[in-house]
Amino acid sequence: MLTFTLRRLSLFIFTMLVLTLLSFSLSFLFPGDTVINHSGQINASTTELAHLNQVYQMDKNIFHQYLAYLSHILNGDFGQSMASQSPISNEIRKLLPATIELSLVALLIAMLVGIPLGFIAAIKHNKTSDNVILSLAMLGYSIPVFWLGLLAILVFSIGLGWLPSAGQISLLFEIEFVTGIQFFDILLSDSPYKWQAFRDASAHMILPACVVALAPATIFIRLSRASMIEVLAASYIRAARAKGLSFQQIIFRHAIRNALIQIIRHVGLQFANLVTIAMVTEVIFSWPGIGRWLIDSIYQRDYTAIQSGLLVLSCFIFIVHILTDFIYAALNPLARGNKHGS
């Protein structure tokens, strides 16, 4: 387990190094002065500029420049946003938790809906329910997310008036910023209207989370169907049938566990896809997350923000990847190694 952890850690460190290299090179590729792209201080005076040049070691060779950039990032200094002239680290601190919250809730919905549906389709292989589920999955996968978001707002917010169309929580509630994840903050606050706020935040969450969850859910349906069909054809399932176990016992004791293990690996991969969808959805639902901020900064040509936003988002996705690897290892005895005999 220790070697497993160390290997994942070294992988993490080297991937992050490559990512910083990429974001470092972006400063040279973007138009404008490299130092200003690094720091984001567009209105710097001559003395400030000289100071920045010294801090980012622009007079030395490119390797020293990279080291200086790296040390800034490791100290949590991403520079200033060119648009708002406020430190980017503060903005990320404020915005990233909202995206994490949205994408994790969406991932949960996608898994809770997609995986059982896929299992049902696999068990009823080549029957009507299988075909219905598969064609629904195909349909859901083909719907573009921005169109679906607008449609959902049109139907559920404007037409039926059930759910709010924008924002994370109603402006009536004043929730102190602690973790940034809205649900935790609400539970931590001592406002007398805590539960109303909680209900309001949930109502705000439902539409964007479902819109984000749709495409990954359809992928999970296909993945879980394929892996369940494979597991059901395995010889240990036949042996379990010969043992005299009932169909339910076979499914719940043997098939689901083995099928889930194969799916868990793909969850990490799908998460990157899900975050991309979440970025688009944040714009539609005015969700105060990092995706909307990143797209805004692309419009405003806020190069510093683009660089650091990319770095932070990819770091987040990579951490989720590593976490799913750990969950996979915990669930699958074969991945844990330590074999005796044979």
Partner 1 sequence: MNLLDIRNLSIELDTPSGRVLAVDRVSLSIKEGEVRGLVGESGSGKSLLAQAIIGVLEDKWHVHADRFHWRGIDLLRLSIDERKALLCRDIAMIFQEPMSCLDPTTLIGEQLSEAINTSQLTGYFWQRKKQRKEAVIKLLHKVGIKKHDQCINSYPHQLTEAICQRVMIAIALAGRPILLIADEPTAAMESTTQGQIFRLLANLNQLKNMSILLISHDLENLTHWTNTITVMYSGQFVEAGSTEQIFNKPMHPYTRALVDSSTKANLQLPSKSRLMTLPGSIPVLQHLPIGCRLGPRCPRAQQSCVSAPKVSNFHGHKVSCHFPLLREPGKKESIKHKTVKGKR
Name the site residues for partner 1 (rule: CB under 8 A).
Answer: 233-236, 238-245, 249, 253-254, 257-258, 261, 331-334, 338-342
Q: Identify the burial level of 160 via C-beta atoms within 10 angstroms of its C-beta, where 0-12 means exposed, 13-18 middle and 19 or more buried.
A: exposed
- Calpha distance 29→22 (Å, rounded): 10
User: Would you say 160 or 242 has its CB closer to partner 1?
Assistant: 242
First to last CA, the chain: 21
Q: Which two tokens stand for residue 86?
A: 């406020």
Taking the complex as a whole, the smallest distance from the CB of residue 209 to partner 1 amounts, in Å, to 31
| CA quadruple 207, 211, 214, 217: dihedral, nearest 10 | -60
User: Would you say 112 or 234 has its CB closer to partner 1?
Assistant: 234
Taking the complex as a whole, the smallest distance from the CB of residue 220 to partner 1 amounts, in Å, to 20
User: Would you say 249 or 276 has its CB closer to partner 1?
Assistant: 249
- Give me the phi and psi of 191, to 5 degrees please: -70, 145
User: Would you say 127 or 199 has its CB closer to partner 1?
Assistant: 127
DSSP line for 55-113: HTTTTS-HHHHHHHHHHHHHTT---B-TTT-SBHHHHHHHHHHHHHHHHHHHHHHHHHH
Taking the complex as a whole, the smallest distance from the CB of residue 114 to partner 1 amounts, in Å, to 21
Report DSSP state, residue 335: G
Taking the complex as a whole, the smallest distance from the CB of residue 264 to partner 1 amounts, in Å, to 12
Taking the complex as a whole, the smallest distance from the CB of residue 128 to partner 1 amounts, in Å, to 16
Taking the complex as a whole, the smallest distance from the CB of residue 123 to partner 1 amounts, in Å, to 13
User: Would you say 102 or 231 has its CB closer to partner 1?
Assistant: 231
User: Would you say 46 or 339 has its CB closer to partner 1?
Assistant: 339
Report DSSP state, residue 287: -
Helix locations, the chain, DSSP H: 2-29, 34-39, 46-55, 62-74, 88-123, 128-142, 145-152, 182-188, 194-232, 235-242, 247-249, 256-284, 290-299, 303-331
285 touches 207 (CB < 8 A): yes
Q: Give the dihedral sign, CA 132/136/139/142.
A: negative
Q: Which two tokens stand for residue 233?
A: 């054809």
Taking the complex as a whole, the smallest distance from the CB of residue 252 to partner 1 amounts, in Å, to 11
- Calpha distance 274→106 (Å, rounded): 8
User: Would you say 82 or 250 has its CB closer to partner 1?
Assistant: 250
Taking the complex as a whole, the smallest distance from the CB of residue 256 to partner 1 amounts, in Å, to 10
User: Would you say 16 or 120 has its CB closer to partner 1?
Assistant: 120
